[in-house]
Structure 1
Amino acid sequence: MDIVFDAELWVWDARRADTWTFVSLPADASDEISDLTEGSRPGFGSVRVRARVGATTWTTSVFPDKARGCYVLPVKRAVREAEDLHPGGTTAVTLEVLTRPA
Structure 2
Amino acid sequence: MQSGDQITVSGTLLGWRNDSGVLATYIRIEGKAAEEISGHELLRRIESGKRRGFGSVKVEVKLGDSEWSTSVFPQDYGWFLPIKAVARRAQGVAEGDEITAQLTLL
Q: TM-score, normalised by structure 2?
A: 0.81
Partner of 2:35: 31
Unaligned runs of 5+ in 2: none
User: Moved runs in structure 1, 4+ residues, more than 2 A?
Assistant: none
Of 73, 83, 87, 1:75 maps to 83
Of 40, 48, 72, 1:62 maps to 72
SS of alignment partner, residue 88 of structure 1: coil
Where do residues 1-102 of structure 1 align in structure 2 (5 Å cutoff)? 1-13=5-17, 15-17=18-20, 18-38=22-42, 39=45, 40-66=50-76, 69-98=77-106
**Deviation, structure 1 residue 5:** 2.8
Q: TM-score, normalised by structure 1?
A: 0.84
Root mean square deviation, CA, Å: 1.4
CA contact (8 A) 1:41 1:47 kept: no
Calculate percent identity across the aligned residue pairs: 32
**Deviation, structure 1 residue 82:** 0.4
Higher helix share: 2
**Partner Cα separation in structure 1 for residue 40 and residue 60 of structure 2:** 16
**Partner Cα separation in structure 2 for residue 51 and residue 41 of structure 1:** 22
Q: Answer with 72-81 or 18-27: which moved more.
A: 18-27
SS of alignment partner, residue 32 of structure 1: helix
- Aligned residue pair count: 95
